[in-house]
Structure 1
């Protein structure tokens, strides 16, 4: 089945990203000899500038189709990551990071549109669930490989990881070329005005879904961004606990994603999303209670909170993606999917800075995150009321 080629492309590309992503900052420090502050700031600036590409990404999906956009995204990733070898100053890092993240913005608009072409509306949750499982597993494998490369080869391993990421993106693009992805239906397009970035922003049920998921996505940063600093520097736990909680996240999602999707197949999307939000709120409360338990149990409580977050993520992310496609105009999803990627890009862009400042008052930060989750639930209720057919 040619659709498998599309999945192979996702797997290969994600493994390559997983190999290099954990080492990306170290690459600029150890290979390009930049300071952590300069490299981190430059990458953040390039990432934020890539938000300007979102309207264009949606329009490109309409003009040339999701298949060509996926291939173009892969080629841009090769160019962007390849330029890391020559990014020896602040401006070059900004430019390289911008190209990489612009490729990711285009991919975020094209990928759900491609899935909408090859799967029926009823199959969307299963497709997105399997893709989430595939990406999480491959990222985990890539992260393990990156650790081995760094341990075995030192700075040379960083260059090898970057080269492997470039090759994986190139081969992933070639696999997309072999995949048959139908274009949008011309008859359906001519019967109504084309979707635009502005029309997506004016769609109240859709933007309610986007707002809810954007507020919820701050919680996904707890295991990967907040806990590594909080557990070691604030609570004084042994240094292996950050790795343990991240491994817990990967393992739980990989193990429960497919069985959970099958178990929830008869649930409405609204019920799944509201249930996931409730589980996230419970995880935040567990996190808030970590300092109240004995020192020896704190790491295990953090792992339990991470497991709850992983289960909620496994239920929420595929369901939200399927709901977004259902709310978008049929065969004209590009602008809507370009906007929908804000549900994860905003938190990953500003979340680390917010968490970095907030850890000075950890209890207040957990309460603020809990408030964001509550707002997410309230807004999700609006989606259920405004567009029950979609959720």
Structure 2
């Protein structure tokens, strides 16, 4: 069945697939209620909860870079396992967090665990796969995470309907247990140890990363991709419900369309990329993003029923951009990095996602508060910049100019 959808044979890496799938399921349970949890179980209020979460996110940023060095020294497998244990402890702590600083503490611990996980994730996938098949595996694992989020989201919805403190506490404890199961599965991954180096030879450090200007352009390109991608979680639901006053079910439908398309279509899209140069595929991805944002802006001029259709069509176009851009960007980031410094290189790459997560909420919500069109104009500009940057890398970074091989 997976092969018919263009995905690889999951039996080749059962421990990796199982661990990532369980992790996604647990994350999918909690992410939809991450803010609501503290609003229900504490007296902190919206402003203080938001401030606590922002403080935690900012404090975790430097650890992304630290984690990159740890991956180079100890290997991706050990760091991703540590990330799972840290998150398990953090979510047990959620049950006892009932003050502002307690919320900051558990949120920071969870953010550190997430930083460790994502700093090691691409490294572990790269160590487990070979050049020529990485787009397929990154696409498959991304789709698997998407499906896990969707299934977990259903469980989260049931908890919200129950609405009691006990139900929310049970949810975070279930999430903690899921990280322990993911830990157990990932211990069986054979790859992901530290890269051997000659005795007495010092390993290059961050200076080499910072001097690699083409790679930094790739990081900036991914920042544009990340800013475009997170619009689904931040800008689109607010635009549909609060700005256009569309029916409440439209917000859920946005994620349903995205989840179904990625779950069923990601492998087929990667197969269709085969033989094409990565940078051209990524340029097309940014073009699809820009087209989707343009349709969203146009939907703001339509009658209510037509606007519903317009928004759903737009998220479909957007999702093609997501499916086109993610796998070749991930594969390029891995293959453009020297193996002995892959941890630091991919930590710098991961930082683009972290920055997007910090910048996007304030930027997009401020623009939506201004008018209904500014945010889409800004996102079209971001997509255009991203396309221009990756186009400039076509002859400067061999990993970006390589042809996709859907092995």
TM above 0.5: yes
TM-score for both structures, normalised by structure 2: 0.91
Select which of 51, 66, 80 maps to 1:56. Answer: 66
1:1-391 matches, within 5 Å, as 3-152=13-162, 154-187=164-197, 194-360=203-369, 361-391=371-401
SS at match of 2:341: coil
Gaps of 5+ in 2: 1-10, 402-407
Residue 27 of structure 2 contacts residue 175 of structure 2 at CA under 8 Å; is this kept in 1? yes
After superposition, the Cα gap between the structure-2 partners of 1:133 and 1:192, relative to the gap in structure 1 and judged at 3 Å, is farther
| 1:33 Cα deviation from its structure 2 partner | 2.6
Cα RMSD (Å): 1.8
Residue 332 of structure 2 contacts residue 399 of structure 2 at CA under 8 Å; is this kept in 1? no
Query: Structure 2: how far apart are the matches of 1:315 and 1:195?
Result: 33
Residue 195 of structure 1 contacts residue 329 of structure 1 at CA under 8 Å; is this kept in 2? no
Residue 18 of structure 1 contacts residue 141 of structure 1 at CA under 8 Å; is this kept in 2? yes
Gaps of 5+ in 1: none
Superimposed CA distance per residue, residues 270-290 of structure 1 (whole angstroms, 9 cap, x where no aligned partner) = 111111011111111111111
Q: How many residues align?
A: 390
Residue 71 of structure 2 contacts residue 194 of structure 2 at CA under 8 Å; is this kept in 1? no
Residue 58 of structure 1 contacts residue 197 of structure 1 at CA under 8 Å; is this kept in 2? no
Query: Structure 2: how far apart are the matches of 1:301 and 1:278?
Result: 18
SS at match of 2:319: helix
TM-score for both structures, normalised by structure 1: 0.95
Query: Structure 1: how far apart are the matches of 2:301 and 2:291?
Result: 16
Residue 57 of structure 1 contacts residue 338 of structure 1 at CA under 8 Å; is this kept in 2? yes
Residue 116 of structure 1 contacts residue 331 of structure 1 at CA under 8 Å; is this kept in 2? no
SS at match of 1:362: coil
After superposition, the Cα gap between the structure-2 partners of 1:182 and 1:239, relative to the gap in structure 1 and judged at 3 Å, is closer
SS at match of 2:133: helix
Superimposed CA distance per residue, residues 135-181 of structure 1 (whole angstroms, 9 cap, x where no aligned partner) = 01101111111102322464332111101110000111111112211
